[in-house]
Amino acid sequence: MDLLRPFRPFLAFASLLLLASLVLEHINDRFWLNDLRVYYMAADHLRHGLPIYGETFGLDTGLYKYAPVVLYFFLPYTFLPFHAAGILHFLGTGVLLMGAFVVIERSLARFRPAMPKVATRAVLGLLCIAVLLARELHMGNINVGLLLLTVLGVERILAGKRTSAGILLGLAWLLKPYLLLMLVPLVIRREWRVLGAALATILAGLLLPLPFHGPSMWWELHREWGASMLLHTGMMTSPDRMGAILGKVFGFAPSTGLDLVFIAVTGGLLAGMAWKDRNSGRTIQDRRMNATFELWLAMALVPNLVITDQQHFMFALPLILFVLAYLFTHRNIPLLLGFLLAMLFYGTRSTDLWGRELENMLVGWGVLGSGNILLMVVAAAAWRLWHRPSPKPLSA
């Protein structure tokens, strides 16, 4: 409970916002949770032996695209009416988000103990992601759960608990393979115990349905999963990925090939950063802090590289809270202005703020993705200024 004491004002504020959002969704007759409906109906199909892939649940785009094992977590919901399951999921998402804030702050405390105004910084961080969070709650997706798994896995690395870190990250990668970009710094840093535990977790998750469905059905389900992911990607577009943003600026059409080039280049730059910092620092803790920032950076990069939902930009939350922590302990006007500009782009893409016509124009220009890129630049600058480990390597 001592850990939560500094967060009490934030937890109260976040709880009030969550409850107010739930009430407003009902008052406005917008408690739809279309993404949750996909999971709920697909789990019900699984429970009754009906097809789960290639089926539309709710909206025309309501395809289930996750691994078969993920539906096991939604099976309990199917014993409740959808509305009751929706309320439970809505409130549970809020609790998971509050947990993510606490975990990230616990990581930051390992960088600099006793940093000031924990609750104030958390409230500001919540306001930065408020637009994305509102959409996440409205859709009833699981991105907040993914966020918690990843930041908790990274925090366990920072704490030196490699096996538990691998299990948590393995679960996140099984749920969202896009997050495998986080492999890059882990491989460069030879975190074999983390990677081994993650691989074992992924294999366990893939094999878990085998005894329940038999080899033939198990194989068919996973084949259909792969096809569903490809189909979903083909149905979507994202103006916020790097290829689309640069295409808008320089007048060329984005393509899958260009996206792959950006992924390769970005992965190479991330690998170079990890290689350069691998042996820097006097202590093991210095190295772990470097790895933590690299993993946070990899998380934030993902939605700029692939076609995905805008809510995935919430993976930048660790960088937002890191920059806020830096600005609360250092006077740096250029970085403050850069952060404010980044948050103007990142955190305000909403028809409620700009109106539909202007918001559609901002969407076309990829302002959310541009804000995320600027945030990463500001965070990297703050990291280099704040955390300057000694170049003397630790032997052994």
Q: In terms of DSSP H, where are the helices of 56-142?
A: 82-111, 118-128, 130-139
Q: Out of 142-151, 227-236, 295-304, which region has the weakest mean confidence (pLDDT)? A: 227-236
Check residues 352 and 343 and name the one with the higher pLDDT: 343
* CA torsion through residues 334, 338, 339, 343, sign: positive
Q: Is the pLDDT of residue 389 over 60?
A: no
Residue 137 tokens read as 């709650």
| Encoded tokens for 339 | 């952060």
N-term to C-term CA, the chain: 37
Q: Which residues, in sequence order, are CB contacts of 61 under 8 Å at separation 6+?
A: 235
Q: Could you identify the residue written with the tokens 């789960």?
A: 52
* pLDDT tier for residue 218 given thresholds of 50, 70 and 90: very high
Cα separation values, 134 from 18, 30, 50, 223, Å: 9, 12, 33, 34
Average pLDDT of the chain, as a whole number: 91
pLDDT average, residue stretch 255-259:
84
The mean pLDDT value for 267-294 works out to: 84
Q: Measured between alpha carbons, how far is residue 212 from residues 54, 64, 72, 74, 202 in Å?
A: 21, 20, 11, 16, 18
Rounded to the nearest 10 degrees, the angle between the axes of helix 82-111 and helix 143-158 is 30
CA of residue 61 relative to chain centroid, distance: 22
The angle formed by the CA atoms of residues 123, 21 and 321, to the nearest 5 degrees, is 20
User: What mean pLDDT do residues 335-353 have?
Assistant: 93
Is residue 278 over pLDDT 90? no
* DSSP-derived secondary structure for 202-244: HHHHHHTTHHHHHHHHHHHHHHHHHHHHHHHHHH---TTSHHH
Question: 219 — phi, psi (to 5°)?
Answer: -65, -40
In the chain, what percentage of residues exceed pLDDT 90?
74
Q: Which of 56-65, 193-202, 281-290, 302-311 has the highest mean pLDDT?
A: 193-202
Instruction: Give yes or no for residue 98 having a pLDDT over 90.
Output: yes
pLDDT for 359: 83
Answer yes or no: is pLDDT of 352 > 50.
yes
Q: Could you give the C-alpha distances from 159 to 153, 265, 268, 358, in angstroms and in order? A: 10, 30, 27, 46
Q: Which of 377, 228, 239 is nearest to 308 (CA)?
A: 239
What is the model's pLDDT at position 233? 65
User: Is the pTM here over 0.85, yes or no?
Assistant: yes
Strand boundaries in the chain, DSSP class E:
none
Q: Which of 225, 180, 231, 177 is nearest to 69 (CA)?
A: 225
Residue 210 one-letter amino acid: L
Cβ burial, residue 134 (10 Å; 0-12/13-18/19+): middle
Q: How confident is the model at residue 61 (pLDDT cuts 50, 70, 90)?
A: confident
pLDDT in tens, 159-212: 999 999 999 999 999 999 999 999 999 999 999 999 999 999 999 999 999 999
